[in-house]
Amino acid sequence: MTDKEKRNPRVTTRTLQRMRERGDRITMLTAYDFPTAKILDEAGVDVLLVGDTVGMVVQGHSTTLPVTMDQMIYHSEMVGRAAQRAMVVVDLPFPDGQLDILHSVKCGARVLKETQCHAVKLEGGAEQAERIEAMVRAGIPVMAHIGLGPQSVHVLGGYRLQRDIDRLVADAKAAEAAGAFVVLIECVPSQAAAAVTEAISVPTIGIGAGPDVSGQVLVTHDIVGLTSGYTPKFTRSFGDVGLAMREAAQSYCQEVKAGTFPSDSESFE
């Protein structure tokens, strides 16, 4: 182990479990490319999620459904190379997490073999228990995702708050029993997320799930002002990179049109 690794060890499944037990909050953000992942990793983010949200925030689709497994591998390989400390978790896109279990195991194996990432995220709770168990048995760490499942947006009739506490708790318990190392909870009332966190021993990560969880995840584009218009209620702006980019591009255009860029110092003799 290098001196750098000793000072800043890799976040693992055991790290996250110890954080839960100590009451240390877990931080998680999305990343889809090398430079963004490198910045977030250096900032101290514990977990980077290569989410199928890439379909919406990068590709411009209205849902995550068009994203393919090959696209997830492409983005994950970049993020995996950039992250030196953070654990990197990769979404299994639709329908690779819904087809036969062997197919999902093979997709999870691709993530571990073809990228430098460490785990996969799978939407679903009790109905995915057998799939989670098979993947974990094959050596693939699984983060379960309960509550609102964006891949089921058409079944749900939209992005709707999930209020059934009994079902959420049952889903979380089933996922934990199957071997999930974390349960991500999306778009549920705060009291429901608190009940889930109380009911299981593995960490819970919330997005739109209130404060009573082990950690939080947000889409990086949302927190830095790189949105395409709609901002969910549960997010917060922590900076405005979008404004800075817009102003930089405007200044560039002005100087090119005025003939002041490039200057002599920016040109070759």
The DSSP code sequence of the chain is --HHHHHSPPP-HHHHHHHHHHTPPEEEEE--SHHHHHHHHHHT-SEEEE-TTHHHHTS--SSSTT--HHHHHHHHHHHHHH-SSSEEEEEPPTTTTTS-HHHHHHHHHHHHHHSS--EEEEEBSGGGHHHHHHHHHTT--EEEEEES-GGGHHHHTSS-----HHHHHHHHHHHHHHT-SEEEEES--HHHHHHHHHH-SS-EEEESS-SSSSEEEE-HHHHTT--SS---TT------HHHHHHHHHHHHHHHHHHT-SS-GGGS--
Q: Note if 186 is an active site residue.
A: yes
Q: Does the bond joining 141 to the residue before it have cis omega, within 30 degrees of 0?
A: no
Catalytic residue among 77, 130, 186, 247: 186
Catalytic residues: 186
